[in-house]
A and B are shown apart, each in its own frame.
Chain A
Amino acid sequence: MSTTTTRGVAHPASAKASPARPRRGLRGSSTFNFWLFTSPFLIGLTVFVYVPIGWSLWLSFFEARFTVTPSKFVGFDNYWQMLQDSKFTGSLVTFTVFAVFIVPATWALSLGLALLVNRLRFMKAFFRSVFFLPTACSYVAAALIWKMSMFSGVRFGLMNTILGWFGVENIAWLANPDPPWYWLVIVTLRLWLQAGFYMILFLAALQNIPPELYEAAAIDGAKPGWQTFRYITLPQLRATSTAVILLLVIAAYQAFDEFFNLLAKTTWGRPPLVELYYTALGESQDYGEGSAGAVILTLLILIVTLAQGKFLGFGRGDDK
């Protein structure tokens, strides 16, 4: 701080002097600076995002087994095959159902946690950290913890140990689709991992609500608690809620890590990305069909997102 102040005082004329000394070449150009700072990201975006997307689109019209430089054009055959593949279409349906459940559940839990930590009078930082920390954990690591120690199907598993105290037999949480206990494992894992992040978004939004609104409501006779929440807090969180739901829907369709690690080689509980992984990389190495599936999935996410945005009013002002 002192250095800055001293330099500022010692050279007050430097700012005035600079216009008299024209900057040379492109260094003074704001256009050059713009490209200098943005080009690394644009190059990365082009190489790692747009080129693969374009290549994938191109591959989807070719028979591309065991090669990414195919020569046999097949038109829409790959799309037709994927839409006829009951495993792929089944995964789309399953995950629409999954999204319908996990999105409101995460929304409610993260909002609940945000309201909880927002009101805390003591150990505020501690509790915020506790709820946020799972976000830093990798999905793969968390999936292995859930699978190997918490929901292992043998007597060593934490859940089976606890159930054993009450005389309940060991449960095969992941190996048996009937009853579908695997959803309990997946949903608890996903809630644990992502609720903290969305809690932070809600917390920021809660802190942006002007206290005057609550004061005015109190003067008008609104009771604190549910009435205030229903008529003041919730409407004020509309923009954040919409953004959170949008992100949750996309995240639900992009689910991969925990499903891949928890449900290896099943035909149930497979999200579309796992299905596409097995199509393109796992067994058949069919990059043509895999790419067609990826295009179908992208279109589906786009449609659902636009529909959801239209329904919930994403992008509309809060005052409308």
Chain B
Amino acid sequence: MSAMSSNWDRRSVLRAAAGLAALGPLAACGSNNGRSGGGSSGKSIKQYFHAYGEAGVEDALKRYAKAYDKAAVNTQWITSADYESKLFSALLTDNAPDVFEFHPQIQLIKSGQVADLSDIIDPVKSDFNPADIASHTVDGKIYGVRMIDDPQFFFYRKSVLEKAKIQPPTTLDELIEAAAKLTTGKVKGLFIGNDLHAVINPLIWSSGADTLDAKNQIAYHTEGVKEGIKKMRQLFTSGHLLLDAPTDYWDPSAIVQGLTPIQFCGMWAMPVMQKALGDDLGIFPFPKVTDSGKQSVVNGGWSMFVNAKGKNADLAKEYVKWLWIDQKKYQEDFALSYGFHIPPRASIAASATKLKTGLPAEGVKLFNDFGHFDNIGWTQAMITALEDVFANCVRKNGDPEAELSKADTTVNRELKKLFG
């Protein structure tokens, strides 16, 4: 100890501190800014992305960012499960991202968190899927740029269904019956995710209902939806549903590993499934729940938003315009090279040869025939209210009428706050 004390006198400590201070700028070189030089302009932008499951997406986004020469773009790659909470928390601080991906939700606009992007989208508005434009528009202003459209449907092993003499189900009853016939030993007939949340909206649409109507009033509380929930309970307790799988519905592992012959998933996973199963793969939309219902496909996807309260809002807008409006080559690469997504721009979709034939073309057809897009008025709190209905009725045997009424209270409170 004494030896150390004599070596570490005040001068030494000051010298060491000065040395550390000098090393500071070097340490900054290690940060993930997506560029080697930090940008010739000296300006920087921070962007948030949730972690995509497909290999290569992260590198691609950093490559695009590196090609931007008007600012250094720092990419934060966040685990999917933590994305919402990290994004929402960050948006309240000075450390908020300037640019981030999310789904169109009106509370982001009402709370002034996202910037109006009409001026950069208007010139190319006619090239975008009109449904995507509508889902990002409030009072005539467009608040986000759609990057990709992600239709979700059922994938199935053709050979397994043929062997069991089962046609792709077109009604929920047929799906329940198919799950029963296809369950053998350790293989369960059907996988719709561990928490079943992915099929909530399809169930509502396939019952002939909707989440909200055109006047932003509750449209999900119908007899058809109640009937659908009861059928889902029947399926859940049948023992023919794969539960507690190591990965959730968005990952193709369950069908690829042979844990189930039918899985609800997104078109993004199609290339991985095709690679593993070859031509032994088919798709069908969420089946009809009631006679008055119609098959449905949920069109998910991600959009780019600019933090309106950020220090670099204008710079961020320029970057969003550059990447998600001007750089069609990158947009096509992002949509088609790391999993299949449908480009929201007609001009890119028209040249997407990978989506023109075979199973991808069938996916596009289901997207066009049965697709339902985001409703900007359907917020996170409302989504949670219906997730609770599913958890309490389907997984816990609650009464659908009572649980839907409980959800109504939450949703109406939310609607009142948003629309008065």
Contacts and interface: CB of A to CB of B under 8 A. Distances in A.
Contact of A7 (B2, B85, B91, B186): B2
A68 B106 CA distance: 19
A152 B380 contact: no
Residue from A66, A157, A282 with most neighbouring chain B CB atoms (10 Å): A66
Given A154-B246, A283-B380, A177 B81 contact: no
Contact of B384 (A151, A174, A278): A278
Nearest to B247: A148
Contact of B243 (A148, A175, A278): A175
Given A265-B387, A283-B84, A178 B2 contact: no
B186 A282 contact: no
A66 B246 contact: no
A3 interface: yes
Task: Please classify the interface of chain B as helix (H, G, I), strand (E, B), loop, or mixed, using the class held by over half of its residues.
Answer: helix
Residue from A154, A155, A265, A266 with most neighbouring chain B CB atoms (10 Å): A154
Given A65-B111, A285-B88, A176 B384 contact: no
B129 interface: no
B397 interface: yes
A264 interface: yes
A154 to B, nearest CB: 6
Contacts of A164: 186
Contact of B92 (A68, A148, A175, A277): A68
Interface in B179-235: 186, 194-195, 197
Contacts of B406: 86
A177 B259 contact: no
Given A155-B186, A282-B84, A283-B384, A265 B244 contact: no
Interface string B276-300: 0000000000000000000000000
Nearest to B85: A281
A170 interface: yes
A267 interface: yes
Interface in A137-183: 148, 151-157, 164, 169-170, 172-178
Contacts of B408: none
Interface in A104-156: 148, 151-156
Given A67-B92, A154-B245, A264-B195, A175 B380 contact: no
Contacts of B137: none
A283 B245 contact: no
A153 B246 CA distance: 8
B107 A175 contact: no
Contact of A152 (B197, B246, B381): B246
A84 B43 CA distance: 49
Contact of A177 (B91, B242, B396, B417): B396
B407 to A, nearest CB: 12
Contacts, number: 94
Nearest to B3: A3
A169 B184 CA distance: 11
Task: Please classify the interface of chain A as helix (H, G, I), strand (E, B), loop, or mixed, using the class held by over half of its residues.
Answer: loop
Nearest to B414: A284
A170 B246 CA distance: 13
Nearest to A152: B246
B383 interface: yes
Nearest to A285: B88
Contacts of B92: 66-68
Interface in A59-96: 65-68, 86-87
Nearest to A66: B111
A153 B84 CA distance: 27
Interface string B384-398: 100110011001110
Interface of B: 2-3, 81, 84-85, 88-89, 91-92, 107, 111, 113, 186, 194-195, 197, 236, 239, 242-246, 259, 380-381, 383-384, 387-388, 391-392, 395-397, 406, 417
7 contacts: A3-B3, A157-B244, A175-B194, A175-B244, A176-B243, A282-B84, A284-B381
Given A267-B388, A278-B384, 17 more contacts: A67-B92, A151-B244, A152-B244, A152-B246, A153-B245, A154-B259, A155-B186, A156-B246, A169-B239, A175-B195, A176-B236, A177-B396, A264-B194, A268-B391, A268-B396, A284-B380, A285-B380
Interface of A: 3-4, 7, 65-68, 86-87, 148, 151-157, 164, 169-170, 172-178, 264-268, 277-278, 281-285
Closest 5 CB pairs of A and B: A153-B244, A172-B243, A175-B243, A66-B111, A267-B391
